[in-house]
Amino acid sequence: MVSSRKLSSDEVDALIEGLQTDEGSTSNSDLSGSPNVRPFKFGSDDLTLLGDYYALRMINERFARFSRAVFLPMLRIQPRISSFPPEVKTFDEYTSGIESFMSLTASRLEELRGNMMLVMDPTFISILTNSFYGGQLGPDKSKKTEFTSTEDRLIEIISEGLNRMLESAWKDLMPINLSVQGREVNPQFVSFVDGSELVIICSFVVQLPGMDAANFDLIYPLQTLKPIASLLRSKVQSDIVEDDVSWRQRLERAVLEIPLKVSARLSKPVVSMSKLISVKPGEVIPIQIGEGVEVRVEDKPIFLGEMGEVSGQSAINLNKRISS
């Protein structure tokens, strides 16, 4: 599949400047004293791209798997959804590469004090609506300029479902809560960020049988994710270990139900083979009783006790634990 990524204006300018520069003009003197060499201070670089968002890529891959459950009831097939690496562009650069009529759903990220936006192609919305209400799964070539009430309801179902899946995908890194703030159809009128502000674009592709793949995007303002940039660059998913009480209870119950063999040893006499051969019924073998009765669990000494009787049955009163 051909990537839909477009070069930014800075990248285009750099490419043109490189083509115009004489290939053989660079020399050792340029590296030492040329005016083209500018000083660089470590630690002062622009952190707009913030390096490799390793954790964000992992979140996107997990979200792609989870989101299948949202589209499955509508497509009536198990869709294959893949994620692209996150990109950083200005919002103007992003909107210049999409249609003027789109499904735009803005949601509030409470924990990060920011917003997130879901962008879906109207053709994909039409395909989902048609399939969801019993139609054949096929391409929709009609040019849309507005959504019907049925499609608006489907967009609401999709956005709510994807928000829940995104919360689950973020859960290992940090808990987030998403709430829908508003919907728009024209990228020029959406009140999300200023056009010159940088945004992080997470794109996803949905493979559909017998037709072109569909795409949808998640857009994060860079300033929203910048406070947790180090966390997103790390390969450690979470420092928080949740206490799964139900799992612990089941494990404890399973351990407590393990059957153990308990035996009591009153004495351990030693008899020679010659005496044992000559023993007859009725004879008595003398034994030496130590501190008490040795109580053994799985043939390992655990307690010392004394013989007694409870309700007409023989019993052992545990006196002390045997140190291992």
- List own/partner pairs for 41-45 with CB under 8 A and 24 or more apart: none
Tell me the pLDDT tens digit for each residue of 122-153: 999 999 998 888 887 777 777 778 899 999 99
Which residue, among 174, 169, 168, has the nearest Cα to 236 in the 3D structure? Answer: 174
> Do 220 and 199 contact (CB within 8 A), yes or no?
yes
Longest Cα–Cα distance of the chain, Å, equals: 117
Between 28 and 74, residue with greater pLDDT:
74
Rounded Cα distance between 19 and 23, Å, is: 8
Report the alpha-carbon distance of residue 324 to residue 321 in Å, rounded.
9
Q: Of 35-39, 194-198, 199-203, which has the strongest mean pLDDT?
A: 199-203
Q: Which residue type is seen at 192?
A: F
For the segment 224-275, what is each residue's pLDDT rounded down to a tens digit? 988 888 888 776 555 444 555 567 777 888 888 889 898 888 888 888 888 8
Residues 191-217, mean pLDDT to the nearest whole number: 90
Strand order in the sheet with 313-321: 262-265, 293-297, 300-310, 313-321
Nearest-angstrom CA–CA distance, 40 and 283: 102
Do 81 and 67 meet the contact criterion of CB atoms below 8 Å apart?
Answer: yes
Q: What 8-state DSSP symbol labels residue 145?
A: S
Using CA atoms in the order 90, 94, 97, 98, what is the torsion angle rounded to 10 degrees?
-150
| 304 and 292 Cβ atoms separated by less than 8 Å | yes
Give the per-residue pLDDT at 9.
72
Confidence at 20, pLDDT banded by 50, 70, 90: low
Q: What is the DSSP letter of 228?
A: G
Angle, vertex CA 255, rays to CA 254 and CA 261, nearest 5: 115
Position 26 scores a pLDDT of 47
The tens digit of pLDDT for each residue in 285-304 reads 888 777 788 888 888 888 88
Q: CA 96, 156, 183, 163: dihedral to nearest 10 degrees?
A: -70
pLDDT value of residue 67 = 93
Percentage of the chain beyond pLDDT 70 is 82
Per-residue pLDDT at 211: 84
Question: What is the overall mean pLDDT for the chain?
Answer: 82
Instruction: Report the pLDDT averaged over residues 66-81.
Output: 89
Cα gap 59→88, rounded to integer Å:
17
Give tens-digit pLDDT for 151-177. Answer: 999 999 999 999 999 999 998 888 999
Structural domains present in the chain: 46-237 (3.40.1550.10), 261-321 (2.30.330.10)
Three-class SS state of 152: helix
> Roughly what angle, to the nearest 10 degrees, separates helices 68-75 and 54-66?
30
